[in-house]
Amino acid sequence: MRLVTTPRVTFLRSIADEVLRHHGRGRMIVAIDGPLQSGKTAFGDDLAAVLEERDHSVFRASMEGFHRSREAQSVFGDDTPARYHRYGFDESALRRVLVEPFRLGGSTAFVTRVWDPARDAWVEPKWITGPDDAILIVDGRFLLRQRLAELWDVRIALDGDPVDPADVLAYAEGDPRLVASVVVDNRDPEHPKRGRSGRP
């Protein structure tokens, strides 16, 4: 279905062009990182809609669905920004049930969500499959950190300086704009534009 053309949709179509230039044969994963409340999830949803407009099979996931439980986080010490930055998310589950099976393609099933952070409870896993040329879009904080950045084919960073203490720690360790394929200024969501790269 053709989307209504707005400045946001026009911009997202240009981002989709870049994504698809990286998309050869096989599956592809796009990651969207950025500071807290920078609009990562909405940006991912809208980018997915633009790619679906072009008849691509697109799946969505968020790091919010791969939180560690509060109990599991407590094993790593007191509730601090440093603890949340290092141990707030279950990166092992992210790799095991989403990234790795998605990469295998074929009939291998994958899961896009294992945890509900609002309820601090597991969710019933929904194992799904897709075509061999499917695209997965994942949004979330810390996705472009060094130990995860190489998992993604296309890396998008939403511009903005970190304010939340956990984000301040993350950006001090490694500014996602430095490793991003695309930097987006999304501070006016209706009129996003190219952002300033963190590269020198």
The answer to whether 93 and 114 are in contact (CB under 8 A) is yes
Evaluate whether residue 138 is within a structural domain: yes
Residue span of the structural domain in which 156 resides? 7-192
Residue 163's CB: how many other CB atoms inside 10 A?
10
> 3-state secondary structure string, 41-57?
HHHHHHHHHHHHHCCCC
Count of domains in the chain? 1
Evaluate whether residue 47 is within a structural domain: yes
Evaluate whether residue 2 is within a structural domain: no
Q: What is the CATH number of the domain that holds 140?
A: 3.40.50.300
CB-side neighbour CA atoms (13 Å) of 113: 16
DSSP 8-state assignment for residue 94:
I
Evaluate whether residue 82 is within a structural domain: yes
Evaluate whether residue 136 is within a structural domain: yes
The answer to whether 190 and 8 are in contact (CB under 8 A) is yes
The answer to whether 187 and 166 are in contact (CB under 8 A) is no
Evaluate whether residue 1 is within a structural domain: no
Q: Could you list the mean pLDDT of each consecutive 10-residue stretch along the chain, which spans 200 residues?
A: 93 94 83 96 98 95 95 95 96 97 92 93 93 95 95 95 95 95 95 74
Question: 180: closest CA among 144, 142, 150, 139?
Answer: 144
- Separation CA 91–CA 88 (nearest Å): 9
Task: Please give the pLDDT value at position 200.
Answer: 40
Largest CA distance in the chain: 50
